Structure 1
Amino acid sequence: MIKAEFSSKRMTWQEPSGRYRYKYTDSLGKRKILYSWRLTEADKMPEGKRADLSLREKKEKFSPYRCKGLQEVTLQCLNLWNDIFP
């Protein structure tokens, strides 16, 4: 059975091999793909496959909308700029 979740510019589906794929476009317009053998943390890892995060865990970790670190660096640069050029 093939499972699929679709929304604008983001798609999750299960390949015939059983591996899950999440496809999205990042903030720079580049196409990105995440893969995993498990959809959720509760799913079992297929026999003979290397342990890895579930696809939903990867989506959370690598979400294109997680910009907290980038915002902090930008603010630090602006503060430094203001200190140098008051």
Structure 2
Amino acid sequence: PIIDQLGYSPIWFGILFAVNMQVSFLSPPFGPAAFYLKGVAPPEVSLKDIFVSLLPFIAIQLVVLFALLFWPNLAMWLV
């Protein structure tokens, strides 16, 4: 109800929220996906190596997040 009262589309907000949560799934300090990868990686691969390797993916997700924020029609093209 708050999103409707503010004049935003609930669909757009839901997609924006989902993309934001996807970024948080990869990024430090928690980044559970990095710890899952550490569990299956060879012993010589450190957690730091994994987090550094995730940086390009986090950057891409942040670009998508900001694109959805500034151009809401990207999320609403089927509606």
With the length of structure 2 as denominator, give the TM-score of the two structures: 0.29
The one of the two structures with greater contact order (alpha-carbon pairs below 8 A, sep at least 6) is 2
* Higher helix residue share: 2
User: Looking at CA atoms only, which structure, 1 or 2, has the larger radius of gyration?
Assistant: 1
With the length of structure 1 as denominator, give the TM-score of the two structures: 0.27
